[in-house]
Amino acid sequence: MFSDDEVERYARHLVLREVGGPGQARIRRARVLIVGVGGLGSPTALYLAAAGIGKLGLVDDDAVSLSNLQRQILFRTKDVGRPKVDAGAEALKALNSGVQIESHPIRITPANAMELIAGYDIVADGSDNFATRFLLNDACFFARKVLVSAAVTEFEGQLATYKGYEPAYPCYRCLFPAPPSPGTIANCSETGVLGAAAGVMGSLQALEVLKEAAGLGTGLSGKILTYKALGAEFRTARLAKDPACALCGTAPTITGLSGQG
């Protein structure tokens, strides 16, 4: 079931009792969509491609800029000016040609979100804006897809897995009912971000995606992990489902993606 090359490439996974052949086969079958190929999406994509994920989708409508290279480790200086999904797909193919890469050089919108995520099992949110975060949360809820959501700013990061379609687990709106008004929260181009902090959160995101794909350990559903780089502190807190949530609560008022974006 694995070629000789695969047995050698994934040898350090195959010897792990908790992964082994069956776990690696589940990883190979998994289809993961990465939204935002930036400081978070770069390490997430690299680790998932290295791990042998079956299909990786990349969604980003941006081009590589010089100021990206401080943290977006998927790219090289020669890539400046190229579409991120093109440079990214090339780098990932060079790392592991056994992974199927699908490039989506577009911005995710309420009109295309359901179609975009339909071909994947797990969505990794590494986007840099609230409109996309809420849109992905709602789309993954309706499509019953696992959403592993990472965020980073300055020296701090957050990570959670949302399965609001399950009765026991919250969605992102259980934590934040609605997006903040535009302009009230600065993005990383305004506040800055330590590149390696984005690397920590993206690596953790890849790890949680692999756990979901291979059925390993205890995931971050119903929990939120925060990392404060300056104090070198990790904390995990419980995240309860909000019965009054407009999306996944007992009397939902959000019943589709229209009216967003």
What are the φ/ψ torsions at residue 162 (nearest 5 degrees)?
A: -110, 125
* Number of residues near Zn ion (by CB under 5 A): 7
Nearest distance, CB of residue 72 and Zn ion, angstroms: 31
Q: How far apart are CA 133 and CA 125, in angstroms?
A: 7
CB 137 → Zn ion: shortest distance, Å?
A: 8
Gyration radius of the chain over CA positions: 18
Closer residue to Zn ion in complex, CB, 130/227: 130
248 scored as a contact of Zn ion (CB under 5 A): yes
Mask: binding to Zn ion, 150-189, rule CB under 5 A, as x and -?
Answer: --------------x------x-xx---------------
Sheet holding 233-238, edge to edge: 100-104, 55-59, 31-35, 122-125, 146-153, 156-162, 223-228, 233-238
* Residue 91 vs 247, nearer CB to Zn ion: 247
Q: What's the min distance (Å) between Cβ of 128 and Zn ion?
A: 22
CA distance linking residue 36 with residue 155, whole number of Å: 19
CB nearer to Zn ion: give 119 or 243. 243
Cβ count within 10 A of residue 211: 18
Contact pattern for Zn ion over residues 194 through 233, marking x by CB under 5 A: ----------------------------------------
Please give the C-alpha separations between residue 66 and each of 18, 58, 72, 75, 85, in angstroms, as whole numbers. 41, 20, 10, 10, 16
Q: How far is the CB of 151 from Zn ion (least distance, A)?
A: 17
**Nearest-approach distance from CB 171 to Zn ion, in angstroms:** 3
Residue 72 · residue 105 · CB < 8 Å: no
**Which residues lie near Zn ion (CB under 5 A)?**
164, 171, 173-174, 245, 247-248
